[in-house]
Amino acid sequence: MKAWGIFLLLLCLQAITYAVIGESQTCPAENVGKCDDSDWEGEFFPGINKIKYEGPSSKNPLSFKWYNAEEEILGKKMKDWFRFSVAFWHTFRGTGADLFGAPTKYWPWEDGTNSLKMAKRRMRANFEFINKLGVDWWCFHDRDIAPDGETLEEANANLDEVVALAKELQMQSKKKVLWGTAQLFMHPRYMHGAATSSELGVYAYAAAQVKKALEVTHYLEGENYVFWGGREGYQSLLNTDMERELNHLARFFEAAVAYKKKIGFNGTLLIEPKPQEPTKHQYDWDAATTANFLRKYGLIGEFKLNIECNHATLSGHSCHHELETARINGLLGNIDANTGDPQVGWDTDQFLVDIQEATMIMLSVIKNGGIAPGGFNFDAKLRRESTDVDDLFIAHIIGMDTMARGLRNAATLIEDGTLAELVRKRYQSFDTEIGAQIEAGKADFDFLEKKAKEWGEPKVASAKQELAEMILQSAL
C-alpha cells in the first residue's frame, strides 16, 4: 500500500508539472532580476484593466471622459482623427532626472541595466501599456529601444534583436509604428551636430545610423520617419560656415530620400522644427524656416513637417500658427501633442491640457482633412514628482481627453459657422471683380493707383477680435 501511495503521489506531481508547463510562464514585477526575459509573461501593470470611455460624469481616473474612439465627429471616427501614439523614450526611458537632480522613477520591471534583456522587457511593457490604453501606434528612437554598442555592427545587431521581438508583439496585438527615428544628439560624437558636423567621419556615421533606422522602420511597417536635428545648428557663427553646413544637411536629406526609395519604404519623411536647445540656433527654427530650406534645395515634395507644440512656443509662435504655416504650405504631416510651461523657458514636454489650445489645433487638423498617415504622438513625459505606475496612464488619458474636447469644440464651431462667417466678412471687399483680379495677379500698380484715386480715402472696418474670441469661448 505504501508503494502504491508513492506511485499515486508521483502521478499527481507529474500531472501538476504538465499542467504548469502547458500554461503561460509568468514572472511578476516583484520578481524582477530573478527571471529571464523569455519567462516574463506576467502583467507589468497588474490591477489596471483596459481603459474605457465612461463619459464626462465619471470620477474614475482610469477612464476616458471625452475620448470615445468609435464616436463619429464630422464623418470620421475619433480614433481616425487622432491616430494617437505613445512615445517610447518618455514613457519607458524617462527617469525624472533633470539638470539639477537624479532620477526619481524606478519602475518595478527595471533592473538598473541597459542590457538586451532589459530592452526586451521594456518592449513587452510598451505593448501591454498601449493595449490597455487603447491606442494603435507607438514611436521610437533607435537607441532608446536597444542598447548602443562598442561598434556600429554591435549596435545594429542589438537593434535587430529587439526589433524582432517588437515585430512579433506588433503582429500579436495588431499595433503599428507611427514613426521611427535615429537618435543623433546624445552620443559625444554628435557634439558638433550629425549631418552638419564639421567632421567627415561623424557625417558618415550619422548616415549609417539613419540608414539602419530607416530599414528598421520599414521592417516594422512604420508609416513615417522623423528627422529631429537637435544639434544641427551652431553655438557661434565665429567658428561656423553656415552655408557649408546647410549644404551638407541638404545632401544628407537627399541621400535619405534616395535610400528610402531604394528599399521601397513608402512612409512619409518628416522634419521636426525646433528653434534652440541644445544648440543656440538650430537650422530648422520653425515651420516657415524649414519650408524655405526645403524649397531652396528642391526637397519640398519629399518631406512634410512634424509640428511639436512646445517647440512652436519656444520659437515665439503658437502651436496653431505653426500648424497653419505647415498646412497652407502643404507640409502638415504629424503632430507631437505636448506643451510647455509659460513660466519656464525651455522644452518641458508636458502633456497638453489646455482645452482652448486643443480646440485651435483641431481647427487646423480639420481644415487639413486630417493628418494621416501621420497622427498625434504624445512626446510628453510625467512630471519629475509623479512616480506611480498608474501616473503613466493618467497622463495619457488626460492628454487624449483634452484633444477629444478640442475636436468636439472645433466641430461645434465649424457646424455653427459663425466664426467662419466673421472671417469671410473681413475679406469680403476682395470678393469683387477687382479683388478677383488682384488675387489672380492681373492688377498692376498703374491700375491700382487709378482705383485708389477714384475711390479716395478707404474706410477700414473693425476686425471684431473680441467677438471672435467670444465665439470661440462659447464653444468651450
Could you give the CA distance from residue 394 to residue 61 in angstroms, rounded to a whole number? Answer: 7
pLDDT at 310: 94
Confidence of residue 40 (pLDDT cuts 50, 70, 90): low
- Kindly report the pTM of this predicted structure: 0.89
Percent with pLDDT over 90 in the chain: 87
pLDDT of 48 above 60: yes
Contact at 8 Å (CB) between 119 and 162? yes
Please, are residues 180 and 142 in contact by the beta-carbon 8 Å criterion? yes
Active-site residue among 141, 248, 321, 396? 141
| The pLDDT of residue 1 is above 50 | no
CB distance 124 to 32 below 8 Å: no
pLDDT for residue 39: 54
Per-residue confidence (pLDDT) for residue 353, from 0 to 100: 95
pLDDT given for residue 17 in this prediction: 31
The answer to whether residue 396 is catalytic is no
Q: How confident is the model at residue 16 (pLDDT cuts 50, 70, 90)?
A: very low
Residue recorded with cell 512656443:
313
Alpha-carbon gap, residue 339 to 307, rounded angstroms: 12
Q: What pLDDT, on the 0 to 100 scale, is given for residue 98?
A: 87
The total of other beta-carbon atoms located within 10 Å of residue 68's CB is 18
Rounded-to-integer distance, Cα 407 and Cα 413, Å: 10
**What tens digit of pLDDT does each residue of 221-244 get?**
999 999 998 899 999 999 999 999
Residue 11: C-alpha distances to residues 3, 304, 337 (Å): 12, 66, 59
Mean pLDDT of the chain: 91
**Residue 286 pLDDT class (50, 70, 90 cuts):** very high
Q: Domain ranges in the chain?
A: 66-416, 419-475
- CA 158 centroid distance within chain: 24
Which of these ranges, 10-19, 208-217, 270-279, has the smallest mean pLDDT?
Answer: 10-19
Q: Does 99 have pLDDT greater than 90?
A: no
3-state secondary structure of 285: coil
Distance CA 411, CA 398 (A): 20
pLDDT of residue 347: 84
How do residues 413-450 score in pLDDT, each as one tens digit? Answer: 999 999 999 999 999 999 999 999 999 999 999 999 99
Distances (CA, A) of 91 to 66, 130, 165, 242, 277: 22, 11, 19, 36, 21
What is the CATH code of the structural domain delimited by 66-416? 3.20.20.150
Residues 6+ apart with CB under 8 A from 209: 142, 152, 155, 182, 184
* pLDDT confidence tier of residue 329, bands split at 50, 70 and 90: very high
Please say whether the beta carbons of 413 and 471 come within 8 A. yes
First CA to last CA distance, the chain? 81
